[in-house]
Homo-oligomer: A and B are copies of this chain.
């Protein structure tokens, strides 16, 4: 690319970035975590921003978000959704930058994370030990957490935070962790099962009512066809 190229406009334009809040569920510590990357280059070397960066002129913001997830954390084909666009004048002291924020959901925090270009480290942080974030990134995080808490109750996005195959106790703990309240075990189980959205992967031969919970997976196809006929998910 020719670095001497310059681009001129009649009116000043803000720069546009995309930032990704990536959530993962740590089932050992029973904590919701977010992924931060440690910058290896200036400016702001050593800080821990969300994956993100300037949008290219020939990519959509969705494409930019997916590119950044891959480049900076090695993550591909995960749940991704636009969150909100942040545009405070002074949100970045260098210059006027508008950020289109996204949030993404990762199936467990166990994956080996690739360390990407210009990144020194990639690490999961639980919500109560987030380092001091640059710019308005704490505000972005707050909005993302609220969105997740709200959406998990009426959209089946919780499954995106668990492996393909999971148990009902897993799902139950996930909901208790994110919503930060106790949920009656039996009632939760009944409600989920009554939707008929889980595929049972248990070994049907052995009749073992206990020790080793039943394995399920989420039936996405069935969910989508139900949705078309007016059904809607709710916990």
Partner-B contacts on A (CB < 8 A): 3, 5-16, 54-55, 57-62, 82, 84-85, 87-89, 96, 98, 100
B60 touches A14 (CB 8 A): no
Number of copies: 2
Which residue of B is nearest A1, CB measured?
A: B11
Q: How far is the CB of A208 from chain B (nearest CB, A)?
A: 40
A8 and B11 contacting across the interface, CB-CB below 8 Å:
no
Closest CB of chain B to A160's CB: distance in Å? 20
Contact A61 B85 (CB under 8 A): yes
With most chain B CB atoms within 10 A of its CB, the pick from A3, A12, A60, A87 is A87
CB proximity of A96 to chain B, nearest CB, Å: 6
Report the bound CA distance from A14 to B87 in whole Å: 15
Tell me which residues across on chain B come within 8 A of A3, comparing CB atoms.
10
Does B14 contact A98, Cβ atoms closer than 8 Å? no
A-B contact pairs, 12 of them (CB 8 A): A7-B8, A7-B10, A9-B9, A9-B13, A11-B54, A12-B57, A13-B15, A14-B16, A14-B55, A60-B87, A82-B84, A82-B85
Measured in the bound complex, the distance between the Cα atoms of B16 and A9 in whole Å is: 13
B11/A13 in contact, CB under 8 A: no
